[in-house]
Amino acid sequence: MVPAAIEVLTAAAAKCGFVLEFRHFDWSCQTYLKTGKMMPDDGLDRLRDHDAVFLGAVGFPGVPDHISLWGLLLPIRREFEQYVNLRPVRLLPGIASPLRDKAPGDIDFWVVRENSEGEYSQIGGRTGTGENEIVVQQAIFTRRGTDRILRYAFDFARRSGRRHVTSATKSNGLYHSMPFWDERFAAIGAEYPDVAADQYHVDILAARFVISPERFNVVVGSNLFGDILSDLGPGITGTIAVAPSANLNPERRFPSMFEPVHGSAPDIAGQGIANPIGQIWSGAMMLEHLGEDEAAALVMRALEASLIAPDIEKTPDLGGNGTTAGFAEAIRTKLLG
Amino acid sequence: MVPAAIEVLTAAAAKCGFVLEFRHFDWSCQTYLKTGKMMPDDGLDRLRDHDAVFLGAVGFPGVPDHISLWGLLLPIRREFEQYVNLRPVRLLPGIASPLRDKAPGDIDFWVVRENSEGEYSQIGGRTGTGENEIVVQQAIFTRRGTDRILRYAFDFARRSGRRHVTSATKSNGLYHSMPFWDERFAAIGAEYPDVAADQYHVDILAARFVISPERFNVVVGSNLFGDILSDLGPGITGTIAVAPSANLNPERRFPSMFEPVHGSAPDIAGQGIANPIGQIWSGAMMLEHLGEDEAAALVMRALEASLIAPDIEKTPDLGGNGTTAGFAEAIRTKLLG
Ligand SMILES: CC(C)[C@H](C(=O)O)[C@@H](O)C(=O)O
Ligand SMILES: CC(C)[C@H](C(=O)O)[C@@H](O)C(=O)O
C-alpha cells in the first residue's frame, strides 16, 4: 500500500513543482522474525533527521501485537513526542454510512487523541503464581502531558473555526486519573472563552457517536479513549478501511508520522486488494503538515472524485473488483488529469 | 421510576401467585448532601440478607460522580461479589435502531462485563505539584477475578445455546493487563470445546458493533471495556433510555443487584417523564434471577406489546407525550389484561 500511495503523492508534488524524497526502511514483523527486532538498535536515530515518517500498517500472524507495536510504532510516537494523534471522522461521498439517513456533511468532526502516555504504559507487571497471580497495569497521566493535548484540542478548535471541544472522561469509575483529567480540562478550557466545552463519560459518548454524530466538532480523549473513539468514528462513517491518522509533534522538534487507522488485515495480506485510501489520505495529511496545502488539496479532490466515479474500479471492501495498485493508479490519473 | 416499576413487578407476582416484599432505603445523592454519606455506615449489612437489590439510577448535579458512585453503587457491586454485569443488547419491536436496515432479531446479543476489579480501582494517587504533578491510576487484574468472569461467559454461552464468545482485548497497547487477559481467555476457552471463541481489540470491536452487530452472541470484557461496550450496545439498538442490567453474584452467596443502564438524567429529573422501561426490564431480569421465570416472561411480553401498541402513550424519548407513571401503568394493565 505504501508504494501505491507514494506514487500518488509524488504526482501531486510534481504538479505543484516540488520534489518529495523518500528513504525506505524495511522494518516490519518479517524483520522481527529474522532478527528478533522490529527495527535496528539505532532505528530511531535513523529517522530523526527526516521531515516526516510515512508508515504502513503493522502486524503479522505469529508476532504478538504487543511485541510488534512496542518495538516500532509506540517507541516512534514517544521518542519523537508525537503527543497528538489526529483523526478525521468524515462521511465521504460514495461511501455509505451504516447509520440511517446520514449524508456527507452530517458527520464531520475530529478526534484529538493523547498519543504518548496515559493508559499505554509498560509500568506494572505480574506477581504470584497460578491461582494467586495478580497483574498490575499502571496508567500514568502527567500534568504536562495532559495540559498539552488539551491545549492542542482547544487551539485546533479555534484554528479550524469549529469552536466546540468535547472531552471523553470516565471520572465516575476511574478514581484518580479521570477526575484529574476533568480538572485540567476545566482549567485549560477557561483559557479559551471563545470555544465551547462539554464532557461525557466515554461509555455514553460512544453511544452518542452513533445516536447524534452531528453534534461533535472536536473530541479530545486520553490515549485509550481516543483510540477507541477514533476507530468507532470510522465505524460510523463506513471508513474503517479508509481512515487516516497523523501522529504529530506540533512543535516540529521531531518528525511527525502519518499512517492509516486500519491494521495490516492479515486475512487479505499479499493479495494486492487492500484499499489504499487510508494510506493516501494519510499522505495528504502529511503534505499539509509539510506546508504543501495545495498538493494536499489536490490529493483529496482526486480521492473524493475517484470514490464517486462510476468508471473507476474500487477495491472489494467498497464493493468493487479492483486492486490496490489499480485503484491508486486511477486516483493518480484523476489527479493529473 | 423505581415505584412505577415495582407496581408492574407486583402485578406480575400476583398473577403468578407469589408475593414480592420490598424494603425501601432512601440512599441517594440527596442523602449525601444532608449527611455527607451516600449510605449509612452499616448500609451494606442492611442489604446483606435480602434476595436482591433493585436500584434506581444514581447521580445528581453538585455531587461529583466519583463520590456518589464509590459511595454506593461500586461498594455494593464489590462487597457482594457481583462480579458479573450482564446486559442484553437487543433490538426491541417499536424502537428504531439508528443503524440502517436492522429489524428485531438482527441485533440480539449479550455483554458480559467484569464488575468487581480491573481498571476501576482506588489504588493510585497524585504526586508532585503544579507543573510537575503526576497521577497514577492502577488497574488490578487477578487470576481468580479474570477466570471467573471468563468462565461465566462461556457457561452462559453454553446454557443459552449461543455458542460463541467474543473477547474484548487491547493487548497491542496495554502491556501487562491485556496479554494476561488473552492468555486466560485462551486457557478457559479450551475448557469449552463446544463454544466458539474469538477476540478483537476493543477499538475495532466498537467499530464492529456498528458495522456487523449480527455476528455477536456473547461479548466478554473487562470492567472498563464492558462498560463502554454495554453502553454502545444500547446505542446501536436505540435503547439507551431503555436497557437493563444485572449485577450478579452467580453463586448466590450475596444479593444480586438490578438497575437500568441509563444515568439519572438530571436534565429531566423531577418532571416525571423519564422512560420506565429500563427499570422494568431490570425488574424482569430480577424475577428471572429469583427463579420466577414465568413472571419475568409476563413482564417482558407486556413491555414489548406496549411498545408497539398504538393506543399507548409513550414517554418523550420514544416520541410520545406520556409520563413515567402513565406508561408504566399501561404496561401493568397490559400485563393483567
Ligand atoms: C456510573 C458508573 C460508575 C457505572 C460504571 O461505569 O460502572 C455505569 O456507567 C454503569 O455502567 O453501570
Ligand atoms: C496498533 C495499536 C497499538 C494502535 C493503538 O492502539 O495506538 C492502533 O490501534 C492505533 O490506533 O494506532
Mean pLDDT in residue range B218-233: 98
- Chain CA centroid to CA A115, Å: 10
* Helix residue ranges per DSSP H, A129-250: 143-159, 177-189, 202-211, 223-236
Q: Search chain A and give the residue with CA nearest B179.
A: A66
Mean pLDDT in residue range A217-243: 95
* A·B CB contacts under 8 A: 219
Question: How confident is residue A20, by pLDDT bands cut at 50, 70 and 90?
Answer: very high
Say what percent of chain B tops pLDDT 70: 100
* pLDDT of B66 over the 80 cut: no
pLDDT computed for residue B150 by the predictor = 98
* pLDDT of B218 over the 80 cut: yes
Q: Is B187 helix (H, G, I), strand (E, B) or coil?
A: helix
A158 CA distance to ligand 1 centroid (A)?
Answer: 33
Q: Search chain B and give the residue with CA nearest A59.
A: B172
Say what percent of chain A tops pLDDT 70: 100
Q: Which residues lie with the beta carbon below 6 Å from any ligand 2 atom?
A: A 69, 227; B 172-173, 203
Domains of chain A, first to last: 1-83+251-337 (3.40.718.10), 84-248 (3.40.718.10)
pLDDT computed for residue B263 by the predictor = 80
* pLDDT of A264 over the 90 cut: no
- Choose the closest CB to B98 out of A100, A121, A234: A100
Cβ of A206 within 8 Å of Cβ of B98? The answer is no
Beta bridge partners of A200: A168
Q: What is the pLDDT of residues A39-88, one digit of tens each?
A: 999 999 999 999 999 999 988 888 887 788 889 998 999 999 999 999 99
- Chain CA centroid to CA A316, Å: 23
Task: Identify which of A63, A227, A285 to mutate to test ligand 2's pocket (most ligand atoms within 8 A of the CB).
Answer: A227
* pLDDT of A239 over the 80 cut: yes
pLDDT computed for residue A61 by the predictor = 83
Which ligand does the CA of B243 lie closest to? 1
> Cα(B4)–Cα(B305) distance, rounded to whole angstroms?
18
B91 touches B103 (CB < 8 A): yes
* pLDDT of B11 over the 80 cut: yes
Q: Is A101 exposed, middle or buried (0-12, 13-18, 19+ CB in 10 A)?
A: exposed
* Helix residue ranges per DSSP H, A80-176: 143-159
pLDDT computed for residue A265 by the predictor = 80
pLDDT computed for residue A294 by the predictor = 98
Question: How confident is residue A244, by pLDDT bands cut at 50, 70 and 90?
Answer: very high
B223 touches B119 (CB < 8 A): yes
- Choose the closest CB to A231 out of B120, B203, B235: B203
pLDDT computed for residue B275 by the predictor = 93
Instruction: Please give the grid coordinates belonging to residue B84.
Output: 458479573
Q: What is the pLDDT of residues B114-173, one digit of tens each?
A: 999 999 999 999 999 999 999 999 999 999 999 999 999 999 999 998 899 999 999 988
* Strand-by-strand arrangement of the B124-127 sheet: A124-127, A134-142, B134-142, B124-127
- Choose the closest CB to A136 out of B140, B231, B232: B140
pLDDT computed for residue B266 by the predictor = 79
What integer best gives the mean pLDDT of chain B?
Answer: 95
Q: Residue B192: what residue type?
A: Y
CA angle B247, B252, B255 (to 5 degrees): 55
Burial B48-79 (b: 16+ CB within 10 A, else e): eebebbbbebbbeeebebbebbbbbbbebbbe
More confident: A196 or B28: A196
CB half-sphere exposure, A109, CA atoms < 13 A: 25
pLDDT computed for residue B65 by the predictor = 78
pLDDT computed for residue A322 by the predictor = 95
More confident: B223 or B267: B223
pLDDT computed for residue B268 by the predictor = 84
pLDDT computed for residue B267 by the predictor = 83
- Residue B190 makes CB contacts below 8 A (sequence gap 6+) with none
CB half-sphere exposure, B172, CA atoms < 13 A: 21
Mean pLDDT in residue range B165-186: 96
Question: How confident is residue A296, by pLDDT bands cut at 50, 70 and 90?
Answer: very high
Question: How confident is residue B30, by pLDDT bands cut at 50, 70 and 90?
Answer: confident
Q: What is the pLDDT of residues A85-135, one digit of tens each?
A: 999 999 999 999 999 989 989 999 999 999 999 999 999 999 999 999 999
User: Could you say which DSSP state residue A131 is in?
Assistant: G
pLDDT computed for residue A225 by the predictor = 98
* pLDDT of A178 over the 90 cut: yes
Cβ of B263 within 8 Å of Cβ of A204? The answer is yes
B66 touches A169 (CB < 8 A): no
pLDDT computed for residue B70 by the predictor = 85
Which atom number of ligand 1 is nearest to the Cα of residue B115?
7
pLDDT computed for residue B166 by the predictor = 98
> Cα(B152)–Cα(B82) distance, rounded to whole angstroms?
12
* pLDDT of B265 over the 90 cut: no
